[in-house]
A = this chain, B = another copy of it.
Amino acid sequence: MSKSTPPVPEERLRDADRSQATILIAARDEFSEHGLGGARMDRIAERAGLNKRLIYYYFEDKERLFQAVLEQTYHHIREEEDKLNLVHLKPEVALRRLVEFTWQYYLDHPEFLTLLNSANLHKARHLAQSDRARELNSPLVHMLQDIIERGQADGSFRGGVDPVQLYVSIAGLSYFYLSNNHTLSAIFGRDLMAPKALNERLSHMCDVILGYVLRS
């Protein structure tokens, strides 16, 4: 680091951005664990290690805090989705890659699932009120469209595949298994989160999706 570089304050005590980010993470965890109704502002403050008043200072109230969490959550998954580079892959490989990504993202971010459930319990009014609506649009649908078109062009994919339906199906196959894993585990009396079970599920989903699109 050269002399002219301004000192980077490793840990600034009074940093609005950092405080806001800390609150958002704490809130995300609390909301995802307890839902909007069950979340406690006190616990969020405690998790963040910051004064409860500060939450209101930056986020107005519980509802808007939840909205901010949702926006951040969508922002994050969209960023990850953007990183996927599937255009140069063979259609079949690209599709499999996309199923794997979806599965892995949900696995790595269980809070995403519960937050979405909460958002839907409240009829997505927090998204409706969001100004960052653009960020909601997933690039995956366009990627899918491209993959489908290339697959049909090279004769490997069947015709009449709707990218939105396919997107919802890919997501749904992972989502239901992971989001409802507790009730499913109770019903089936086995641990759905065991490594072996997870591998089997991924394998099955790829079979389902590819079995559907591939021209036999």
Contact = CB atoms under 8 A, between A and B. Distances in A.
Interface of A: 34-39, 114, 116-121, 123-124, 127-128, 133, 136-138, 141, 158, 162, 164-165, 168-169, 171-177, 179-188, 200-201, 204-205, 207-209, 211-213, 216
Given A172-B176, A173-B173, A136 B186 contact: yes
B120 A204 contact: no
Contacts of A209: 208
A100 to B, nearest CB: 16
Contact of A212 (B123, B128, B211): B211
Assembly of this chain: how many copies?
4
Contacts of A212: 207-208, 211-212
Nearest to A135: B187
Given A35-B35, A186-B136, A211-B212, A120 B180 contact: yes
Contacts of A36: 35, 37-38
Contacts of A207: 212
Q: Is the interface of A mostly helix, strand, loop or mixed?
A: helix
A176 B177 CA distance: 10
A121 B176 contact: no
B180 A116 contact: yes
A183 B37 contact: no
Contact of A182 (B123, B205, B213): B123
Contacts of A39: 37
A127 B186 contact: yes
26 contacts: A35-B37, A35-B38, A37-B38, A38-B38, A117-B117, A120-B183, A123-B182, A124-B182, A124-B183, A124-B185, A127-B183, A133-B186, A136-B186, A138-B187, A141-B188, A165-B201, A168-B201, A169-B173, A171-B176, A172-B172, A172-B175, A172-B176, A175-B175, A175-B176, A208-B208, A208-B212
